[in-house]
Amino acid sequence: MELAADPRLSVTTHPVVGGPTVGPSLNGRLGGLSDYPFTRLAALLADVAPRSNTTPLMLSIGEPQHEPPTLLAQALAAAPLADWGKYPPTIGTAPFRAAVHGWLCRRYGLPASFVDVDKGILPATGTREALFQVALLATPQRKDGRQPAVLIPNPFYAVYEGAAALAGAEPVFMPATRETGFLPDLDALAPELLARTALMYLCTPSNPQGAVADLAYLKKAITLARAYGFVLALDECYAEIWDKAPPPGGFEAALSLENDGAGQGTANLLVFNSLSKRSSAAGLRSGFIAGDPALIQPFTRLRSYALAGNALPALAAAAALWGDDVHVEENRRLYRQKIDAAEAALKGRYGFYRPAGGFFLWLEVGDGEAATRKLWGEAGVRVLPGAYFTRSEPDGSNAGRPFIRVAWCTTLKRWPAPVRR
């Protein structure tokens, strides 16, 4: 047989006209996004050399620097070698779900039946990818006959905006300024907007401001989600890093609604959490999605196409960590020490306040980009300009512009001189 005559073996060649391309619609949406905050930071500091006689101090990334608990290493070591050879199921393992369920009940005082241990909990490789996917899950083609909206606090975690835009929704930003207690004013949302809302992201404690939504606020958000038929995605990944009192959670609010006689269980609610901050285990990439079984079911379907899942030994380690609160208390103690030190140095300056939760300082320095360049050049301290977390208003103003975000993750020994009086 002549090879070239066999159509199965013929090769069609295309002229090479440039680099690889992606689909036009994805391309258009991707192109509409701002660069990721760390990409913008690298560009801002590209021509600034950090002071040479000091080791640079990275206070830009919210990566916990406390040692992860030994429990993590022990649990990983105890996992059977054969488990590394197995594909993990999308829904994780029963012990993993039971450990998450146990923690939720303990932490938020929930009755065992409130969150369905089998149909209401999914493992996630950290909250980040799950927070991205929820926009794909929640966004229909049209809502109320119009392009769906995804409501996002402003400032915000960049993933929310990317997820909303790539899902084909319009990201709509809700100001969360000092005047609104650093949380979006839910009463300010117009009914016409709520009617086309497919998804609302809320973060409590919030990144970057460290504001905590109280129970009444969360109840209002859930009530809106039910009244207008949208998904409420509560990003609670800082829930265990708190100063004076444990922040209430979405499930606590849903339970309280139930007790008021207005409850529908976990309807419309999805809660996202992970071990990245709670157990200083960002590298484990282990989190969960929990809530409304009617949402968890399609989420499981979505994830069975889109996700590789957590390795079985990682799920076993995660189960051990969710089962233990002692290491978390120690973690909080270390963060409080740092906030104490920051307070001693910064009280009365730069609008300093003790964040109710999380480990970020949100400091008002006048011009966030200029301060970021100065801190890097003169002190070797890397922070992020507040404007990289905020979307500008149509008039060009940007509420984050006067701020910097300082990720107070470093160990106290490396406490930076520039913030000392």
Binding residues for ligand PLP, rule: CB under 6 A, are 62, 126-128, 131, 157, 203, 207, 235, 237, 274, 276, 282, 287
Phi, psi of 248, deg, nearest 5:
-65, 160
Say if strands 403-407 and 384-385 run parallel, antiparallel, or are unpaired: antiparallel
CB of 273 to ligand PLP, least distance (A): 8
CB of 168 to ligand PLP, least distance (A): 22
Rounding to the nearest 10 degrees, give the CA dihedral for residues 52, 54, 55, 60.
Answer: -90
Cβ closest to ligand PLP, residue 226 vs residue 327:
327
Cβ closest to ligand PLP, residue 207 vs residue 331:
207
Cβ closest to ligand PLP, residue 120 vs residue 357:
357
CB of 285 to ligand PLP, least distance (A): 7
CB of 129 to ligand PLP, least distance (A): 7
Cβ closest to ligand PLP, residue 62 vs residue 175:
62
Cβ closest to ligand PLP, residue 224 vs residue 237:
237
CB of 130 to ligand PLP, least distance (A): 8
CB of 9 to ligand PLP, least distance (A): 47
CB of 159 to ligand PLP, least distance (A): 7
Cβ closest to ligand PLP, residue 61 vs residue 267:
61
Residues 6+ apart with CB under 8 A from 159: 128, 131, 132
* Spatial CA neighbour of 169 closest among 209, 206, 197, 201: 197
- Give the strands of the sheet with 287-291, arranged side by side: 121-124, 287-291, 269-274, 231-235, 197-203, 149-154, 170-175
Cα radius of gyration rounded to whole Å, the chain: 23
Cβ closest to ligand PLP, residue 207 vs residue 398:
207
Name the residue whose CB lies closest to ligand PLP: 126
CB of 194 to ligand PLP, least distance (A): 23
Indicate the length of the chain as a whole number: 421
Cβ closest to ligand PLP, residue 239 vs residue 255:
239
Rounding to the nearest 10 degrees, give the CA dihedral for residues 206, 173, 401, 389.
Answer: 50
Cβ closest to ligand PLP, residue 114 vs residue 161:
161
Distances (CA, A) of 227 to 98, 194, 299, 300: 31, 9, 22, 25
Residue-wise DSSP of 28-92:
HHHHHSPPPHHHHHHHHTTT-PPPTTS--EE-SS----SPPPHHHHHHHHHS-GGGGGSPPPTT-
Rounding to the nearest 10 degrees, give the CA dihedral for residues 17, 18, 20, 21.
Answer: -80
Count Cα neighbours of 78 within 13 Å in the Cβ-side half-sphere.
12
Q: Six-digit token pair at 269?
A: 């609610």
CB of 94 to ligand PLP, least distance (A): 23
Task: Check if the beta carbon of residue 215 is closer than 8 Å to that of residue 367.
Answer: no
